[in-house]
Structure 1
Amino acid sequence: MTILVRTTAPAEAPITLSEAKAQIRVDHNEEDVLIQHYIDAATSLLDGSAGLLGRCLVTQSWKMEVDALTGPILLPFPDTVIDEAKFADGDAEDVPYRREMCGQRPVLIPLQGWGRSAVISFTAGYGAPQDVPATLRQAMLLLIAHWYDNREAVTIGAAGAPLSMAVDALIAPSRLQRV
């Protein structure tokens, strides 16, 4: 079994409150809490292990606990730096490993210690908020504006549209393809 836990959240969201307010043309402070909620919701929709992108936006730290090293370990996100890998049983000694890539995602290949449990700490994300690709930031701004303008569920015809085509098109190139 593998357990994945975010240990340090990003210091900042990919979109600032002032950027969101400029997008929705709000020049007062009465709805700042609501707009910040939309920023947080758009970030959650795209970011991390449960996000639509399958990757991290702004730099954040994660820990992966592995019951037993039985082969190469595919790390969950692209744009990942392995901070440390330690055996979880005993005195927490370093796991000797080699790092390779499998498509967009890094793979940790243990060089010894098969069958032992391990904890892998890593950092993932594009970097600072300004390093997040413009297409993803624009998709978030479109979502925030949509939610601000439509404060209830929106139905088009007989079927609801979970994401606008523009948002879907903007995030598609950055989505991690899961196989």
Structure 2
Amino acid sequence: MLKAVVTAPDELPIDLSFIQSHAVVDSGVDEDLLQFLTGAAVARLDGMNGLLGRAIMPQDVVQAFPRADLYLRLQYGPAFALNSVSYFDRENSVVEISNARIFEDDAGSFVQLDSLPNAAPRIDAVTVSYRAGWQSAALVPNDVKLAIAMMVATWYHNREDMTSQAFSHQVPGGVRDLIAPYRRVGI
């Protein structure tokens, strides 16, 4: 399976006023820095390599598979919309699959095909395009939002004490506990 290509989300899952309140920062003070730190906290949690192992906000994903199967496990979830599924046939022509469905179980998001396509033997034999993440900021669990706010507040108030390496890896106490129920372990 090839690495999924992800288009970053358009918005953050938490608004700056909540971050300012949680970090006890006056409105209008260091807003650019707080916005930067919020983006860094989301990036630290979001995605396959993030602490959550899943998408937070809606984002477009294109994932290729080396062979056709009736069930294709999606790397990036939770997946909520299927944009398209296609495969390369034996003549290397792209064929759209219209009878695919997306579903979620305890192991993550999957695409189910009604029948097995006769795909060409190539590393990108089947391609799935889908939307992943909680569908809006309002649907992002409060525990995840609080984890982001805790990370931003810690980084904001302790920025002089951090080297760039420590900054990129430091996660305040309690964050892992807050996100644990939502965490997905990669495949």
State the TM bucket, normalised to the shorter chain. Answer: 0.7 to 0.9
Q: 1:129 and 2:129 equivalent?
A: no
Cα distance, 1:56–1:149 mapped onto 2, change above 3 Å: same
* Counterparts of residues 14-33 of structure 1 (less than 5 Å): 14-33=13-32
Q: Secondary structure at the match of 1:164?
A: coil
What's 1:2 paired with? 2
Q: 2:139 and 2:104 mapped to 1: Cα distance?
A: 22
Q: Is the 8 A contact 1:96 1:112 kept in 2?
A: no
Give aligned-pair identity as a percent. 26
Shift of 1:57: 0.9
Aligned partner of 1:153 in structure 2 is 162
CA distance in 1, matches of 2:34, 2:75: 30
Q: Which residue identity does 2:59 align to in structure 1?
A: Q
Which blocks of at least 5 consecutive residues in structure 1 are unaligned?
A: 155-160
Q: Name the aligned partner's letter for residue 34 of structure 1.
A: L
Q: How many residues align?
A: 172
Match of 2:108 among 75, 83, 105: 105
Q: 2:96 maps to what in 1?
A: 93
Counterparts of 1:154-173 in structure 2 under 5 Å?
162-173=170-181
Q: Deviations over 1:55-91 (max 9, x none)?
A: 1111111111223325632112342132210124414
Give the aligned CA root-mean-square deviation in angstroms. 2.4
Q: State whether residues 70 and 115 of structure 1, in contact with CA within 8 Å, keep that contact through their aligned partners in structure 2.
A: no
Cα–Cα, structure 1 residues 68 and 119, in superposed 2: closer, same or farther, change >3 Å? same
Counterparts of 2:172 and 2:53, CA distance in 1: 19
Q: Which amino acid aligns with 1:85?
A: V
* Contact persistence 2:87–2:119 (CA under 8 A): no
Q: Aligned partners of 1:19, 1:108: CA distance in 2, in Å?
A: 36
Residue 83 of structure 2 aligns with which residue? 83
**Residue aligned with 1:3, SS:** coil
Task: Report the alpha carbon displacement of residue 169 of structure 1 after superposing the two structures with TM.
Answer: 1.0
Q: Which amino acid aligns with 2:22?
A: Q
Structure 2 residue runs of 5 or longer lacking an equivalent are 164-168
* 1:72 equivalent in alignment to 2:59: no
Report SS of the residue matched to 1:83. Answer: strand
User: Structure 2: which amino acid aligns with 1:24?
Assistant: A
Q: 1:12 and 1:97 mapped to 2: Cα distance?
A: 29
Name segments (4+ residues, structure 1) moved above 3 Å: 95-102
TM-score, normalisation: structure 1: 0.83
Instruction: Tell me how far apart the structure 1 counterparts of residues 85 and 133 of structure 2 sit (CA, whole Å).
Output: 19
State the TM-score, normalizing by the size of structure 2.
0.80
